[in-house]
Amino acid sequence: MITYHVESFEERLCELKRLLPLHYEELALNKDKVPLSPQYDVYIQRERNGELLFVTARDAGELVGYFIGFIAPGLHYSTCLTCIMDIFYIAPGHRGSNAGWELFQFVRKENKRRGVQRWFMGAKVHFDCSFLFEKLGAELVEKTYSLMLED
């Protein structure tokens, strides 16, 4: 049975570092130009400032998934506390068991507990999981494009 927890990013970083390369290999584009190189110090500082939400998914204590989001008043809407999803991941062996849905239900409750008013989530086009967001009742509001600028 998978359980979900709000945990300290800083305290669990060593565990997280074991899953991040798997997440990167599966989903990242332009790997030949953009290597995995997180700014862990920025995540830690944001957590210390109370601006990071780190939720873990654990199976018998083992980290099998996570959600990371940033919580702060919107830059355009200072009166609206907003959670912007950074990344989430469920290990392949735990997909199809409602783990993703349960993770997002847990995150939803935690966002509400923290007073978050708006939550932004994003799905990769090449690995679409927007059905999760639609099931939550979210609506499509923006498309994001990427362009590698090469010499």
Q: Give strand pairing partners of 4.
A: 57
In a domain, 142, yes or no: no
Reported pTM = 0.95
pLDDT given for residue 39 in this prediction: 98
Buried b (16+ CB within 10 A) or exposed e, 11-33: eebeebeebeeebbeeeeeeeee
How would residue 150 be classed by pLDDT, with cut points 50, 70 and 90? confident
> Looking at beta carbons, which pairs linking 109-112 to residues 24 or more positions away fall under 8 Å?
110/6, 110/53, 110/55, 111/53, 111/69, 111/71, 111/83
| Local structure of 53: helix, strand or coil | strand
In a domain, 145, yes or no: no
Which of the pair, 127 or 66, is modelled with greater confidence? 66
Average pLDDT score over residue span 5-9: 98
Cβ neighbour number for residue 35 with a 10 Å cutoff? 9
Average pLDDT score over residue span 103-123: 97
With a cut of 80, say whether residue 151 has pLDDT above it.
Answer: no
Amino acid at the residue 26 = E
In a domain, 71, yes or no: yes
- At 26-73, the pLDDT tens digits run 999 999 999 999 999 999 999 999 999 999 999 999 999 999 999 999
Residue with tokens 């989903």: 27
Give the range among 37-51, 107-121, 128-142 with minimum mean pLDDT.
128-142
In a domain, 25, yes or no: yes
Which of the pair, 151 or 10, is modelled with greater confidence? 10
In a domain, 141, yes or no: no
Domain with 96, as residue range(s), is 2-136
Amino acid at the residue 144 = T
In a domain, 89, yes or no: yes
Average pLDDT score over residue span 124-135: 92
CATH number reported for the structural domain that contains residue 70 in this entry: 3.40.630.30
- Cα–Cα distance measured from residue 21 to residue 56, given in angstroms and rounded to the nearest whole number: 17
Number of domains present in the structure of the chain: 1
In a domain, 148, yes or no: no
Residue with tokens 């999981």: 129
In a domain, 150, yes or no: no
83: Cβ contacts below 8 Å, ≥ 6 apart: 53, 69, 70, 71, 111, 116, 118, 119, 120
- Per the document, the length of the chain is 151
